[in-house]
Amino acid sequence: MEKLRYALFTGCTAKQSTPEQMMSTMAVAEKLGIELIELTEASCCGASHLQDYDDFLSLVLNARNIAYAEKHELTMVTICNTCQLNTAMTKHRLDNDEKLKARVNEKLAEVGLEYKGTSLVTHFLYAIIDDIGLDKIAEMVETPLSQFNIAPFYGCHNIRPSELQNESHKSSENPYNPTSLDDLIIACGGMNVDYEEKNKCCGFHAELQAPKTAAILTGNAIAGAMDNNADWMVTPCPLCHLKLDTQTHHASEAIGREVSLPVLHMQQMLGLALGCPQESLGMKHHVTKVNFI
Amino acid sequence: MSTHTITTQKVNFKVFRFNADEDYLPYYENYDMDVTSEEVVLDILNRIKWDHDGSFSYRRSCRHGICGACAINVNGRATLACKESMNTMVEIFGNELVIEPLSKKRAVKDMIIDKKDFWEKHDAVKPYLISDIDEHPEHEHLVTPEEAEELNEADLCIQCGACHYACPVVEINDDFFGPAAFAKAYRFEADVRDDGEIKRLTAIHEEKQGVWDCVKCMECAEVCPKDVNPIEKITKLHNMLFQKGVATSNVATRHAVGFKHSIAKNGVLDEGGLVLYSEGIGIVKHVPVAFKMFTKGKIVPPWGITKSENLDEIQKLVKSSSTAKF
């Protein structure tokens, strides 16, 4: 099989507050035989906030990021749900509105770039499921995670709105009964935990302006996983990770009950199962201690 | 004539039952039924009432996705019962379906809920055209097709409450107007004939009740049976707040604007810098968490940030493509 190559849009979080996510992405890619070409020219996607202030600027910046992936003639892979949503939303809007695309390209031409719409934009989770396959991943597992009950936390911006999201990958996902992350847990040999909050919101995007709302949502998510006997949680989104990993104190206070579980990035879980050296997965960067390794 | 085969499958329904006048707690009744591929969820509600228990209560009226009366939850998914086919439900959730009201804590009798809060919030955004109308106009007030287009799908809302009760913020924060009210606010804000803008926009800018408390979970866009896409309208309201000068400096507005400054400076975000810019002196409340993060190597100081390559391009685009001022 030809080596898989993707243009990697790391997003900002992987380079700052979740270094473990960057490390584990690279470690897992190497194990899976994926070549990642990092889009070092990319800017921040605006994280679903810039567009509230300046929608057009947000479109131009995201189109520029995609244009760099197009230059490589590669699929753009994201490792953050919110990067995925913002980038895919931009692609969707430009691909379906010639006038808007022309307006954006007029700006991009000022810096010698053009958005064509030739690159797919997909999250790493779906890229490996589509292009490698869960069966193949299961075959590559060296250390099955069979002693663990693992609670998947999908993160809103990978599953909703489904009409948009399902343009980004072959494996269709229903946001009311998502399966991709459950399937990956099973492929890694783990036991997937079913709980009500697995497809719900962690509250991240209202953290500053509505801290109480955000903390209750975080608390409910961790409590849901705990009440269904999860040993730990796993998520494809570094923003959900930040919320679930670093905000347990506020979350516990908000819901009036101590909640805390180790939370792994999906790349870290996969890395453990594939037998990546533990130091390459960055577990020491977690605020809630990863207490099982 | 097409040859259409009707298939039948067995489905177990676990149905929420509660009568506020008699019951201390709700309970669930089980019904096993053969369901055909031609049926919609409302057919099942009818069959429960007509074939099993005449006391089973729910709202229904038009049966054509227009009146918005029959929205309920199926396996936690808000659903307009007359529109959703049983086939889709079984496809998503399998053969065991849980039928519940849109909001259990507001249940009056079985599927019937008290939508008082929905209507209060709907009213709070002044859901009508505010305009000094000349009672004896000499000619029509013309609206161009392009201007009408601006309303997008916001006009299609049937007030079913699906997005409102599926919204996680409505569930937690009693003051929050919710996605349906915001979509309605947008519908009139985007109407060129309307003059009510500042009052309406001021209300939706307010903390706790307004658009800034939205968590951006996208559930309202997913759940709407009429494709109103409320979150898109919420974003447009955010934009209007800046365009019309209603936005005042607060942690939420500075957060949105801060992204632009950060991108202009580094291309990528300066996470710490953004929180500082948004919070100002309020940054102190983040110190305990920030300290823990720092000890785990999760905080990069401003001078340690790797800026985007070809930053000059980004800076040029920020300058030439900016459409908003604050």
CA A51 from chain center: how many Å?
20
CATH number of A134-285: 3.40.50.11810
Count of CB atoms within 10 A of residue B186's CB? 28
Alpha-carbon dihedral B1, B3, B4, B7, rounded to 10 degrees: 150
Taking CA atoms, A99 is separated from A61, A102, A103, in Å, by 17, 5, 6
Tell me the C-alpha distance between A159 and B310, whole Å: 32
Smallest Cα–Cα separation from B166: which of A26, A110, A249, A175? A175
Classify residue B40 by its DSSP letter.
B
Tell me the C-alpha distance between A124 and A137, whole Å: 14
Domains of chain B: 8-113 (3.10.20.30), 116-133+142-243 (1.10.1060.10), 251-321 (no CATH)
Confidence category of residue B3, pLDDT binned at 50, 70, 90: low
Q: What are phi and psi of A121, to 5 degrees?
A: -120, 115
B209 CA: distance to closest CA in chain A (Å) = 11
Residue A86's identity, in one-letter code, is N
Is the model's pLDDT at A184 over the cut of 70?
Answer: yes
Tell me the C-alpha distance between B268 and A17, whole Å: 13
- What tens digit of pLDDT does each residue of B210-240 get? 999 999 999 999 999 999 999 999 999 999 9
In A175-210, alpha helices (H): 180-187
Contacts of A94 (CB under 8 A, 6+ apart): A59, A63, A100, A101, A104, A115, A117
Contacts of B96 (CB under 8 A, 6+ apart): B11, B12, B14
Smallest Cα–Cα separation from A160: which of B135, B215, B318? B215
> Tell me, which fold does domain A4-123 have in CATH?
Glutathione S-transferase Yfyf (Class Pi); Chain A, domain 2 (1.20.1050)
- Mean pLDDT confidence for B57-71: 97
Cβ distance of B218 and A174 shorter than 8 Å:
no
Cβ distance of B260 and A53 shorter than 8 Å:
yes
Q: Which pLDDT score, from 0 to 100, does residue B2 have?
A: 55
Residues of B in contact with A219 (CB under 8 A): none
Count of CB atoms within 10 A of residue B136's CB? 5
Residues of A in contact with B322 (CB under 8 A): 54, 57
Instruction: Find the range with the poorest average confidence among A33-37, A167-171, B192-196, B309-313.
Output: B192-196
What are the respective helix, strand and coil percentages of chain B, to the nearest 5? 45, 15, 40
Tell me the C-alpha distance between A289 and A262, whole Å: 6
Count of CB atoms within 10 A of residue A163's CB? 12
Cβ distance of B300 and A16 shorter than 8 Å:
yes
Classify residue A194 by its DSSP letter.
P
* Residue of A39, A48, A55, A57 best to disrupt the B interface, most CBs of B under 10 A: A57
Interface of A with B in 215-254 (CB under 8 A): 216-217, 246-247, 249-250
Mean pLDDT value across chain B: 95
Cβ distance of A156 and B218 shorter than 8 Å:
yes
In this complex, which of B168, B275, B318 lies closest to A200 when CB atoms are compared?
Answer: B168
Q: Which pLDDT score, from 0 to 100, does residue B196 have?
A: 80
Instruction: Find the range with the poorest average confidence among A88-97, A203-212, B142-151.
Output: B142-151
Is the model's pLDDT at A34 over the cut of 90?
Answer: yes
Q: Which pLDDT score, from 0 to 100, does residue B12 have?
A: 98
CB pairs under 8 A between A and B: 206
A74 CA: distance to closest CA in chain B (Å) = 19
Count of CB atoms within 10 A of residue A270's CB? 30
Asked if A31 contacts A276 with a C-beta cutoff of 8 angstroms, the reply is yes
- Mean pLDDT confidence for A42-56: 97
Asked if A75 contacts A7 with a C-beta cutoff of 8 angstroms, the reply is yes
Confidence category of residue B198, pLDDT binned at 50, 70, 90: confident
Tell me the C-alpha distance between A150 and A140, whole Å: 19
* Residue of B244, B255, B299, B305 best to disrupt the A interface, most CBs of A under 10 A: B255
Is the model's pLDDT at A293 over the cut of 90?
Answer: no
In this complex, which of B76, B222, B324 lies closest to A54 when CB atoms are compared?
Answer: B324
* Domain ranges (residues) in chain A: 4-123, 134-285
Smallest Cα–Cα separation from A65: which of A86, A82, A34, A36? A86
Angle at Cα A246 formed by Cα A243 and Cα A252, nearest 5°?
85
- Residue A171 burial (C-beta neighbours within 10 Å; 0-12, 13-18, 19+): middle
Helix (H, G, I), strand (E, B) or coil at B283: helix
Helix (H, G, I), strand (E, B) or coil at A263: strand
In this complex, which of A49, A57, A217 lies closest to B321 when CB atoms are compared?
Answer: A57
Instruction: Find the range with the poorest average confidence among A39-43, B104-108, B124-128, B198-202.
Output: B198-202
Confidence category of residue A1, pLDDT binned at 50, 70, 90: low
Taking CA atoms, what residue in A is nearest to B93? A177
Confidence category of residue B126, pLDDT binned at 50, 70, 90: very high
- What tens digit of pLDDT does each residue of A109-154 get? 999 999 999 999 999 999 999 999 999 999 999 999 999 999 999 9
In this complex, which of A55, A107, A250 lies closest to B317 when CB atoms are compared?
Answer: A107
Cβ distance of B216 and A210 shorter than 8 Å:
no
Contacts of A195 (CB under 8 A, 6+ apart): A151, A224, A225, A227, A228, A230
Compute chain B's Rg from CA coordinates: 25
Tell me the C-alpha distance between A192 and A229, whole Å: 10
- What tens digit of pLDDT does each residue of B77-100 get? 999 999 999 999 999 999 999 999
Smallest Cα–Cα separation from A222: which of A198, A186, A238? A198
Confidence category of residue B259, pLDDT binned at 50, 70, 90: very high
ipTM: 0.96
Contacts of A161 (CB under 8 A, 6+ apart): B218, B221, B222, B229
Q: Which pLDDT score, from 0 to 100, does residue A209 have?
A: 95
A161 contacts chain B (CB < 8 A): yes
Is the model's pLDDT at A2 over the cut of 80?
Answer: no
